[in-house]
């Protein structure tokens, strides 16, 4: 079996994926027409050409702009269904999906349209693609604590449909501690916690995410490498990092993929996983992320299997389901 086919066949969980970041230019224009939303780009080509980012903020500006075409249940369904079908082709068996309610409710879109549209697609994927999934409600960290509480309360009727809360958007200057109380409330209501930390922000933000927000895993977390004690703790406690290699290059966290620290984190025994973050903007879905790091960092087929295994371990799946997937990974013959 060729390596590409092997990596595709490995059962994988995708754990760092913003549903708004899967909005491909073609669907963006289709929804724009359907909803009569005027766009400042004449067409798909011009829009794609604008996807030249210099840092996280330069990406977020255009990402929030694109989300303006999402208005109705059906739009959120179509968005999530397109992602889930694409993920299935990459060998994704389970996806834990972020969404940003504040990006939509601030434009007058009811939370019902967002969650019900997404849930309809998730249900359809379970039935028709045998792909399981969960939803993670993210707070926008460039906004305040009050707004985060409002977002959590606004989704109250859907708490039972959510797996966890998360934290995303502009990291620098917005430390996790700003959201300590709203995370405590969410955990008290039975939700798990994850947070973006250590993408552009310092390792102290990773520590805050662990100690103040009590996260089960850290999204990105690549700057943890700057703090030896933190790195040891992440390895010892098997706290997963959901790493997004192509995203990190597009947003210039690393200059080139060859300089990425994923291989080193793996060698140091951390539970690192590979994910696509915002694939419509960063030029690759999860399989492309796996294959790109394999080439750039000269990772072995065993490393690919370890990364797939880590993704299952880091997921919120039940232990019995994890065991089934581990067995599938172990049974897959390694490529020549
Ligand atoms: N970081 C922070 N916020 C985000 C990202 C990211 O990588 N993607 C979408 N929102
Ligand atoms: Zn992200």
- For the Cβ of 168 lying below 6 angstroms from any atom of ligand 1, the answer is yes
Q: Residue 336: its pLDDT value, please? A: 79
Residue 103 CA, ligand 1 centroid: distance in Å:
13
Confirm if 275 and 286 have CB atoms less than 8 A apart.
yes
Nearest alpha carbon to residue 63 among 37, 25, 111 = 25
Instruction: Report pTM.
Output: 0.98
CA–CA dist 45, 200 (Å, integer): 29
Residue-level pLDDT at 75: 99
Q: What is the Cα–Cα distance from 276 to 261, expressed in whole angstroms?
A: 16
Instruction: Judge residue 166's burial from the number of C-beta atoms within 10 Å of its C-beta, 0-12 exposed, 13-18 middle, 19 or more buried.
Output: buried
Q: How far apart are CA 98 and CA 26, in angstroms?
A: 21
Q: For the purposes of burial, counting CB atoms within 10 Å of the CB of 242, is it exposed (0-12), middle (13-18) or buried (19 or more)?
A: buried
Residue from 163, 171, 199, 208 carrying the catalytic annotation: 199
Please give the average pLDDT of every successive group of 10 residues along the chain, which has 336 residues: 95 99 98 98 97 98 98 99 98 99 98 99 98 99 98 98 99 98 99 99 99 99 98 98 98 98 98 98 98 98 98 99 98 94
Separation of CA 166 and ligand 2 centre (Å)? 10
Q: Could you tell me if the CB of 91 is within 6 A of ligand 1?
A: no
Distances from the Cα of 139 to the Cα of 99, 144, 208, 278, angstroms? 9, 9, 16, 17
Map out the domains of the chain with their CATH numbers. Answer: 3-331 (3.20.20.140)
24 catalytic? Reply is: no
What distance in Å separates the CA atoms of residue 136 and residue 239, rounded to the nearest whole number? 18
């Amino acid at each position: 079996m060729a390596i590409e086919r092997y990596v595709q066949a490995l059962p994988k969980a995708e754990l760092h994926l913003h549903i708004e970041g899967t909005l491909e230019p073609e669907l963006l224009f289709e929804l724009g027409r359907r909803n009569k939303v005027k766009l400042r780009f004449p067409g798909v080509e011009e829009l794609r050409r604008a996807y030249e980012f210099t840092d996280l903020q330069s990406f977020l500006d255009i990402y929030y702009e694109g989300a303006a075409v999402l208005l109705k249940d059906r739009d959120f369904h179509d968005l999530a269904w397109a992602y889930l079908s694409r993920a299935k082709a990459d060998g994704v068996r389970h996806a834990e999906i972020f969404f940003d309610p504040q990006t939509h409710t601030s434009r007058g879109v009811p939370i019902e349209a967002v969650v019900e549209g997404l849930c309809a697609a998730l249900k359809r994927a379970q039935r028709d693609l045998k792909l399981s999934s969960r939803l993670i409600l993210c707070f926008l960290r460039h906004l305040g604590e009050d707004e985060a509480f409002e977002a959590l309360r606004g989704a109250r009727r859907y708490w039972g449909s959510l797996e966890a809360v998360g934290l995303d958007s502009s990291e620098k200057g917005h430390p996790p501690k700003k959201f300590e109380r709203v995370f405590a409330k969410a955990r008290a209501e039975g939700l798990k916690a994850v947070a973006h930390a250590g993408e552009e922000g310092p390792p102290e933000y990773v520590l805050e995410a662990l100690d103040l927000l009590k996260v089960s895993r850290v999204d990105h977390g690549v700057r943890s490498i700057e703090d030896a004690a933190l790195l040891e703790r992440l390895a010892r406690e098997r706290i997963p990092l959901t790493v997004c290699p192509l995203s990190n290059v597009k947003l210039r966290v690393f200059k080139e993929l060859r300089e990425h620290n994923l291989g080193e984190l793996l060698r140091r025994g951390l539970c690192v996983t590979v994910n696509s973050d915002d694939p419509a903007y960063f030029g690759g879905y999860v399989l492309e992320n796996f294959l790109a790091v394999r080439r750039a960092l000269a990772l072995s087929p065993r490393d690919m299997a370890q990364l797939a295994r880590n993704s299952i371990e880091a997921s919120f799946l039940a232990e019995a389901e994890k065991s089934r997937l581990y067995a599938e990974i172990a049974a897959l013959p390694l490529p020549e």
